[in-house]
Structure 1
């Protein structure tokens, strides 16, 4: 290939530029491409923007299209100027063309060079976006936080950090952390290190006298660059909050205990989270033994199903009341209680159920030799036993071979006889009147004396 002045086309063609976002090319005075080497993407851009193809293999700039920036720049270079301009999408390609002079100072061709800054621009936008997000996260974080480079110089801080150290951002950024923040101590015990990170802990006193505990995590990226994240906890504030919470907890326990009504708070699964002395007293058990147990442990089997329905209804937000609930204390007579239940909102919007016992009726187990002569017919006794065991009306009808109308009639007679208004109250009244023994399961109803 021939030479233009001192420019050797073979030398340019041999440059290893294909892996870089650059392009070098040469044209003759007719603006025909003589050689081109570099990025395929840039080659594509310059080959389709302001270029005309004439002939089978010849590629040239279209001199009849001078208003195109690429063509106009080459025309100016042919006239002896050196021209720089920006082209491509969003002007991300920076290009330059210059004339090639012969020994006698005549223009013999044009050489061009272009760099695609698109990748760098994208990376810069991503970097700024990530940095902006990190800044917003740091400012939203309530604890003091700083980000440092591998040499311990501060790169980013939040307002809580500046308040803790009593300095402005200009006094901190790009400088090494200074007291009251100490240098990195030895790795802390119990904090796992990894090949990519190490952990450190230290305690220090802030500019305003607060006690802080720092957690500093140093991380190495894939390129080996080390960045440290420093997060400090305000021990003074945490201790003040703990004391305040303890005070309110004691006040709550005191008010809860001196309340006249027996009260208990149930968790999601029905476990007793809190109970006052009155509630523990009617069950004849200590508070320590009561807390953490299931409420079903203290409710008679015949009342558990109805109480479970009420508890779930209250958890959904509907206050409710249930009469005639059989309570079974520890080594104590059975109790019939009227219970009101409310939804109780605790810390962090956690939901519990507050139950209050409004009325308690104590009764003792009675036997045929110690009670009055109250008794029911055999068929009614079987109905009461199946009701107490939790069977539905359809199940009772099937098991006793009664029609639906026949069962309804027998239940109506029982409600009149026992002065009860519902299935649940029938069972409760039967226990109260001594027809059932609270210590026997499944329930067995007392039959008439022969």
Structure 2
């Protein structure tokens, strides 16, 4: 590819980057935003230029801090897997929103230190009429449901799973929205009905 052709394709990619409705950013390996599209900037009531240079962890708060350390270690070793982090952030108007960041390492060559292509999936705007299937329940969520079924409080579930109380509450909100459960009793009943929790077992446990 010639230099002129490379410029043409870069301009096309940037046009697509700006027009896509999914919030997307490109960060360096340390998490500093190099480029953000308008959809990402809109989540903070800003313009793309105002996000440049910001640390992605200043913009988004990870629900599980250990996720971030695992990703950082993998990047230092130049692993090129896809990484996902559950996050919250402060939207315009003081609302706290919840979602999931997906980070893909990208670079021009295998040996080069990768940048991160970061995409945001907004979970608190998913339509209630299209809940994910029961097999979308994560091992952490299954463990939380099992603890709830055994009578655990939010605080105890947090201790048992290594999450914060906010992290447990976040997963419970996701599950409640997914199954349209009005309370925790209904949530546990639905977990048994969906086969997420093993029937006839005490203490309760997720199906392996």
Normalising by the residue count of structure 2, what TM-score does the alignment of the two structures yield?
0.54
Partner residue, 2:27:
266
What is aligned with 1:427? Answer: 166
The correspondence of residues 186-335 of structure 1 with structure 2, limited to 5 A, is 241=3, 243-300=4-61, 303=63, 305-313=65-73, 315=75, 316-323=79-86, 325-329=87-91, 332-335=94-97
Larger Rg: 1
Counterpart of 2:107 in structure 1 is 345
Shift of 1:248: 2.4
Alignment-derived partner of residue 121 in structure 2: 358
**Deviation at residue 267 of structure 1 after TM alignment:** 0.4
Q: How far is 1:351 from its partner? A: 0.4
Q: Is the 8 A contact 1:314 1:342 kept in 2?
A: no
Q: Report the alpha carbon displacement of residue 296 of structure 1 after superposing the two structures with TM.
A: 1.6
CA distance in 2 between counterparts of 1:357 and 1:337 reads: 7
In 1, distance between residues paired with 2:104 and 2:119? 8
The answer to whether the 8 Å contact 2:29/2:113 transfers is no
1:414 is aligned, of 153, 156, 163, to 153
In structure 2, stretches of 5+ residues that fail to align are 126-146, 174-208
Q: Contact 2:154/2:168 (CA < 8 Å) preserved in 1?
A: no
Equivalents in 2 of 1:429, 1:263: separation in Å?
A: 27
Give the CA deviation at 1:336.
Answer: 0.7
CA distance in 2, matches of 1:317, 1:298: 24
Contact 1:285/1:329 (8 A) holds in 2: no
Q: CA deviation at 1:429?
A: 5.1
Structure having greater relative contact order (Cα 8 Å, sep ≥ 6): 2
CA–CA distance in structure 2, aligned partners of residues 278 and 350 of structure 1 = 27
Alpha-carbon distance in 2 for matches of 1:350, 1:344: 9
CA gap of 1:296–1:416, structure 2 versus 1, over 3 A, is: closer
Distance in 2 between residues matched to 1:361 and 1:270, nearest whole Å = 24
Distance 1:248 1:422, change over 3 A: farther
Alignment partners' CA distance in 1, 2:17 and 2:74: 20
Deviation at residue 283 of structure 1 after TM alignment:
2.2
* Mapped contact 1:319–1:341 kept (Cα < 8 A): yes
Counterparts of 2:28 and 2:93 in 1: how far apart (Å)? 25
Unaligned runs of 5+ residues in structure 1 are 1-239, 363-407, 435-450
Q: Equivalences for 1:110-259 in 2 at 5 Å?
A: 241=3, 243-259=4-20
